[in-house]
Amino acid sequence: MQRLLPMVHEVLAEAGIGASELDCFAFGRGPGSFTGLRVATGVVQGLAFGADRPVIPVSSLATIAQGFARSHAEFSGTLAVAVDARMDEIYGARFSVDGNRVTALGDELLVAVDQWPAALCEADAICGSGWQLAPSGIERASVCQIDIEPDAQDVLTLALQGDVMPICATQALPVYLRDSVSWQKRTRVRTTSL
């Protein structure tokens, strides 16, 4: 956080604008790591609240799908995104891709790798780090990009599409998809290793 805010202010200074001159702030709301999402949410809340501007929370999985669409401009069809969620689980979602337009085809999910959802296998293309964890026997689509991460330009593209309505800064929340069971597991591990 000590480096992040100065970097934000530097980018704004290079652009010759202040935070209050922006229309809104968009951020990756998850799913993802607890710490990363808390930092992203805290920073965007602080900036947006201080500038009295709204916030647009953008799905990390949709951001990856948008990055795929950007780098595969010729692709049109269904895309299954799977991201390594650690602890032998994946975050996943399906999207329709039509040119540069990405649309969710259902809810985001968190599932154990050994319970790989059939819905993710029913896609014309796949992307994301979670596909490296797919059990043997899972068919992969012929269009595949494993090494893809969320990119700020794709957050911006999704925010500008207008599918997600802006909210006030105090309503900006991270989306974990994982409940407190994981935290309890980690607490037990830490406690027993002391």
Q: What are the structural domain ranges in the chain?
A: 4-59+151-192, 61-145
pTM as predicted: 0.89
User: What does the pLDDT read at residue 183?
Assistant: 47
User: What does the pLDDT read at residue 151?
Assistant: 98
CATH topology of domain 61-145: Nucleotidyltransferase; domain 5 (3.30.420)
In angstroms, the CA 57 to CA 155 distance is 9
SS3 state of residue 147: coil
User: What does the pLDDT read at residue 194?
Assistant: 54
- Could you tell me if 43 and 181 are in contact, meaning their C-beta atoms sit under 8 angstroms apart? no
User: What does the pLDDT read at residue 174?
Assistant: 97
The partner residues of 78 in beta bridges, in order of sequence, read 96
Can 4-59+151-192 and 61-145 be said to share one CATH topology?
A: yes
- Give the ranges where the chain is alpha helix by DSSP (H): 4-15, 34-51, 60-71, 118-121, 152-161, 180-192
Domain 4-59+151-192 in CATH 3.30.420.40:
yes
- For the chain, residues with pLDDT lower than 70 are 1, 180-194
User: What does the pLDDT read at residue 139?
Assistant: 82
